[in-house]
Amino acid sequence: MSVDPRLRTRATELFGVDYPIVQTGMGWVAGPSLVTGTAEAGGLGILASATMTIDEMDAAIGEVRSRTDQPFGVNLRPDAADLDDRADRLVEAGVRVASFAGPPPGPVVQRLRDGGVLVMPTVGARRHAEKMAELGADVILCQGGEGGGHTGSIPTSLLLPQVLDAVDVPVIAAGGFHDGRGLAAALAWGADGVAMGTRFLLTAESKVPDTVKAVYLGTPVTGTVVSSSIDGKPQRVIRTRLVESLESARLTRMVRAAANAWRFRGITGMSMAAMLREGLAMRRSQDLTWSQMAMAANAPMLTRATMVDGDIDAGVLPTGQCVGVVEDLPTCAELIDRIVAEAVEALDRLAP
Amino acid sequence: MSVDPRLRTRATELFGVDYPIVQTGMGWVAGPSLVTGTAEAGGLGILASATMTIDEMDAAIGEVRSRTDQPFGVNLRPDAADLDDRADRLVEAGVRVASFAGPPPGPVVQRLRDGGVLVMPTVGARRHAEKMAELGADVILCQGGEGGGHTGSIPTSLLLPQVLDAVDVPVIAAGGFHDGRGLAAALAWGADGVAMGTRFLLTAESKVPDTVKAVYLGTPVTGTVVSSSIDGKPQRVIRTRLVESLESARLTRMVRAAANAWRFRGITGMSMAAMLREGLAMRRSQDLTWSQMAMAANAPMLTRATMVDGDIDAGVLPTGQCVGVVEDLPTCAELIDRIVAEAVEALDRLAP
C-alpha cells in the first residue's frame, strides 16, 4: 500500500520511515522487541539505552539489527559518563537517530552529526528549542506538559505553536497524542509528526509485565500526578500510594528523605556504594540538595521495580496523561495502521 | 468574500455566523462593544450577563441589537436566583445562544430551547459532556485545563477527543486556542469550532483598562496559576502577589480567611449585607466551607477591581495560559480575519 502523501513530512524523509509516528525511548520499556515492532510497522522506534550499560546497548542494537532492516533510533542520557563512547558506537552501528531527554553537550551533537546520526533532543520550553536548534539539532521533539516521565508545565496546545515559531528544523509533537485524529491535529498546527510513549508502552510488543499494563489501563485521565520528589525534577507518574507518600515526605526534612532512601535501598537492592556513586554523578550534573540526591540515586531502580519486576507497590509508573484514554493492547502494526487510517479519515474531512 | 467551505461546520450553521470562532462571555469584560465587534467580524460574540443585574442585561442586549443585525449569545449563571426570568428575556429578545459556565437546570434548558434559543454549556470532563447532551444541550463547549477562569485539570489534547467520542452534538473546543493554526488543529480533531476568551480580552474593542491589558501582554506562558482560594473552585488567573498571598492563606485557618475577606470588603467596597447575601446563595448552591464562602462572596468584586476599575493590586486577573503567546491588541475584525487566513493556510498545506 502506498503512503498517503499528506503523511509524508520532512521528518519521514529524514528518518527514512513510512509514517510520521515516533515511539519514544522509555527506560526499561523500549527494548528490542518494541523497537522492532514499531520499525517493521513503519514508525520510528527508539531504543532506551539510558538504563543499559554500554555493552547492553550494543547488544540491544545488534538484536534490533538482526530483526529488521528498517531505520531506528537510540535514546541517550545527556549526562552519561561514557557519552562520547556511546556516540561513537551509534555512529559505527549506523543508527539513524540519537534522541535525548535533556540537552546534549555541543561536542557530542557534532560527533553524532559528523557520523551521520540525526540528533533529536526533547524540549519542554520555547527557549530550549531555540538553544538546541542553534547547537545543530536536526529535529526537535516538543513535549507538552501532559506528556509522560520528565515533563514541563506548558501544555501541547501552547508549546507546539511556540516551538514551531521558534525553529526552522522539523518538529515532532508529543504530549497527549495517542490516535490518528491527534496526528492530523499536529500536522494542522504545522508539526512534522507525533511521538508517543504511553501508547506504545501499552502494546503487545512492550515487555512490561501484564499486571503493570493492567494498572495503566485502569488509570483515569485524572489519575496521574507531576511529582518532583522522585529524582528532583518534575515527572508525570501514576498517582500510587508510594508516590503520595513521597510527595508528603518532600515537605519534611532531610532526615525523613534519608530514611526513605534507605528504605528504598532495601526494596530495590541497590548497594550503598552504587547509590552513592549514582548520587554523586547526579549532584554534579544537576542542582540537587543532598536529600533530593539520596532519593534520586534510587530513581531508576524505582522504575525498574515496576517495569521489569512487576512490583507495583515498590516502584513508580511513569506515564502520560493520555493513559486515561488508552484502553487496549494492540500490536505495533495494528496500532500504527489504525492511527494512519484515522489520520487519513480526519484529513479527508478537511479536504476542499 | 465568500467563506472557505472547510470553515463551515454544524456550529456555524446553528449559530448563523460566518466563522467557527466564539468569543466567550467573560464577566465584566464581554460587554456590548466586544460582542458587537465580534459579531460584525463574523464570529459569535457572547455577552457576559453573570455580572449584570437583569435590567443591565436587558439594556446590554438592546445595545448590541442597535449596533448589529448579526446573531450573538448571552452567558448566564446557572445558579442565578432570577434564572427563569433571564431565560424568558433571552427568548423575547430572540437571542441566538445561551451559554453557561456550569450545568444549567433541566427546566431552564427546556424553556430556552422551546423559545428557540440554543443552549451551550461549558464542560471540563467527559461525563459532564454526556450529562449535558442528555439534558438537551445543542452545542457543547469543551474547555481544556489550559483555559481561563474556572477550569479543569484535563488538557485540551485529551479532553477534546474524549468529548468528541462521548456526544453527537457539535463541539466547540476551548483552552489554548488563540490563532488559525489552532483552529485548523481543532477541526482536524473533529471539533466544530473554537472558543477564545483571553485572545478577545486583548482586542481593541475590549473595554478592559489599558494598564490591565499591559499586564496581560507582559505575562509569560508560565505566569499563570490555578487557584481554588478565590471562590472555592479552581480558577486560572495571572500569578500576582495578591493571588500568592491568597494561596498561602488557604493553608491557614478560618481566622485568616475571615480577616482576608474583611480586608477585601474594604478594598472592594462591598457592603456586609451584600456580602452575606452573596455568600449564603453560594453556600446553598455549592459545597463551600464558611471560610471559603467568606472569600467567594467577594470574588466577583475582585475581578471587577481589575477589569473595570483597573486596580491591579486589589483584584484578580482571570486568564487562559495562552496569555503567554498573545502579543498584540488587534481589532476584532483584524483578529478574526487573521485567524481565518491562518486556518485556510494550514488547511491548504494538508490538502491532497
Question: Splitting chain A (352 residues) into consecutive groups of 10 residues, what average pLDDT does each group show?
Answer: 91 98 97 98 97 96 98 96 97 98 94 98 97 97 97 97 98 98 98 98 97 97 92 92 78 49 53 58 55 64 88 91 97 98 97 84
A236 contacts A319 by C-beta, under 8 angstroms = yes
How close A350 comes to chain B (CA, Å)?
6
Rounded to whole angstroms, the Cα distance separating B223 from B216 reads: 10
Point out the residue among A189, A221, A321 whose CB comes nearest to the CB of B181.
Answer: A189
Residuewise pLDDT in 10s, chain B (352 residues): 589 999 999 999 999 999 999 999 999 999 999 999 999 999 999 999 999 999 999 999 999 999 999 999 999 999 999 999 999 999 999 999 999 998 999 999 999 999 999 999 999 999 999 999 999 999 999 999 999 999 999 999 999 999 999 999 999 999 999 999 999 999 999 999 999 999 999 999 999 999 999 999 999 999 999 998 888 889 999 999 888 887 776 555 444 455 555 555 555 455 555 655 665 565 555 555 555 555 666 677 888 889 999 988 888 999 999 999 999 999 999 999 999 999 999 999 998 7
> Is B131 an interface residue toward A (CB < 8 Å)?
no
Domain positions in chain B: 5-208+326-349, 220-307
Burial zone of B41 (CB within 10 Å; 0-12 exposed, 13-18 middle, 19+ buried): buried
> Is A286 an interface residue toward B (CB < 8 Å)?
no
The residue among B157, B319, B342 with the most chain A CBs within 10 A of its CB, best to mutate, is B157
Rounded to whole angstroms, the Cα distance separating B172 from B190 reads: 10
Predicted confidence at residue A106, as pLDDT, reads: 95
State whether residue B231 is helix, strand or coil. coil
The residue among A7, A154, A157, A342 with the most chain B CBs within 10 A of its CB, best to mutate, is A157
- What chain A residue is nearest to B160 in terms of C-alpha separation? A182
In angstroms, what CA-CA distances link A336 with A11, A24, A97, A331, A339? 16, 14, 20, 9, 5
Q: Rounded to 5 degrees, what are φ and ψ at B104?
A: -75, 155
Task: Provide the β-strand partners of residue A118.
Answer: A97
Tell the residue number behind the cell numbers 461549558, with chain if given: B122
- What chain A residue is nearest to B345 in terms of C-alpha separation? A188
> Is B249 an interface residue toward A (CB < 8 Å)?
no
In angstroms, what CA-CA distances link A292 with A86, A227, A275, A300, B310? 28, 12, 13, 14, 43
A35, three cell numbers:
523497537
B184, three cell numbers:
485548523
Tell the residue number behind the cell numbers 443585525, with chain if given: B69
Tell the residue number behind the cell numbers 464581554, with chain if given: B30
Burial zone of A193 (CB within 10 Å; 0-12 exposed, 13-18 middle, 19+ buried): buried
Point out the residue among A145, A162, A185 whose CB comes nearest to the CB of B188.
Answer: A185
Point out the residue among B155, B186, B350 whose CB comes nearest to the CB of A146.
Answer: B155
Write the ipTM: 0.88
> Is B72 an interface residue toward A (CB < 8 Å)?
no
Long-range contacts of A243-249 (CB under 8 A, 24+ apart): A243/A316, A246/A295
Contacts of A51 (CB under 8 A, 6+ apart): A27, A28, A300, A303, A304
Point out the residue among A145, A188, A221 whose CB comes nearest to the CB of B184.
Answer: A188
Q: B5-208+326-349: which CATH topology?
A: TIM Barrel (3.20.20)
Q: Judged by CB atoms within 8 Å, which residues 145-164 of B form the interface with A? A: 145-146, 153-159, 161-162, 164
Report CB contact under 8 Å: A346, B189: yes
Q: Judged by CB atoms within 8 Å, which residues 302-341 of A form the interface with B? A: 321-322, 324-325
A23 contacts A196 by C-beta, under 8 angstroms = yes
Angle between helices A241-249 and A254-268 (to 10 degrees): 150
Report CB contact under 8 Å: B155, A156: yes
**Using a CB-CB distance cutoff of 8 angstroms, which residues of chain B are in contact with residue A191?**
none
Rounded to whole angstroms, the Cα distance separating B171 from B162 reads: 11
Contacts of B175 (CB under 8 A, 6+ apart): A157, B142, B143, B144, B145, B146, B147, B151, B155, B156, B159, B320
Report CB contact under 8 Å: A187, B188: yes
Element (H, E) at B295: helix B290-307
Q: Judged by CB atoms within 8 Å, which residues 11-50 of B form the interface with A? A: none
Report CB contact under 8 Å: A179, B161: yes
Rounded to whole angstroms, the Cα distance separating A212 from A311 reads: 8
Report CB contact under 8 Å: B190, A154: no
Q: In what order do the strands lie in the sheet with B149-150?
A: B149-150, B235-238, B224-227
Point out the residue among A161, A162, A182 whose CB comes nearest to the CB of B157.
Answer: A182
> Is A260 an interface residue toward B (CB < 8 Å)?
no
> Is B192 an interface residue toward A (CB < 8 Å)?
no
In angstroms, what CA-CA distances link B153 with A198, A222, B157, B236? 19, 7, 12, 11
Predicted confidence at residue B253, as pLDDT, reads: 42
Angle between helices B156-166 and B126-135 (to 10 degrees): 40
Report CB contact under 8 Å: B350, A187: yes
**Using a CB-CB distance cutoff of 8 angstroms, which residues of chain B are in contact with residue A156?**
155-157
Point out the residue among A157, A162, A325 whose CB comes nearest to the CB of B161.
Answer: A325
**Using a CB-CB distance cutoff of 8 angstroms, which residues of chain B are in contact with residue A153?**
222
Residue A7: alpha-carbon gap to chain centroid? 22
Alpha helix stretches (DSSP H) within B138-251: 156-166, 180-189, 198-201, 210-217, 241-249
Report CB contact under 8 Å: A155, B177: no
Report CB contact under 8 Å: B350, A350: yes
Report CB contact under 8 Å: B179, A162: no
Percent of chain A clearing pLDDT 70 (strictly above): 86
Report CB contact under 8 Å: A155, B158: no
> Is A53 an interface residue toward B (CB < 8 Å)?
no
Report CB contact under 8 Å: A190, B346: yes
Report CB contact under 8 Å: B325, A158: yes
> Is A191 an interface residue toward B (CB < 8 Å)?
no
> Is B195 an interface residue toward A (CB < 8 Å)?
no
Nearest to A7 by CA among A233, A208, A234, A188: A188
How close B20 comes to chain A (CA, Å)?
14
Predicted confidence at residue A274, as pLDDT, reads: 61
How close B31 comes to chain A (CA, Å)?
27
Rounded to whole angstroms, the Cα distance separating B174 from B35 reads: 18
Nearest to B289 by CA among B239, B255, B247, B240: B255
- In this structure, the strands spanning A21-23 and A44-48 are parallel
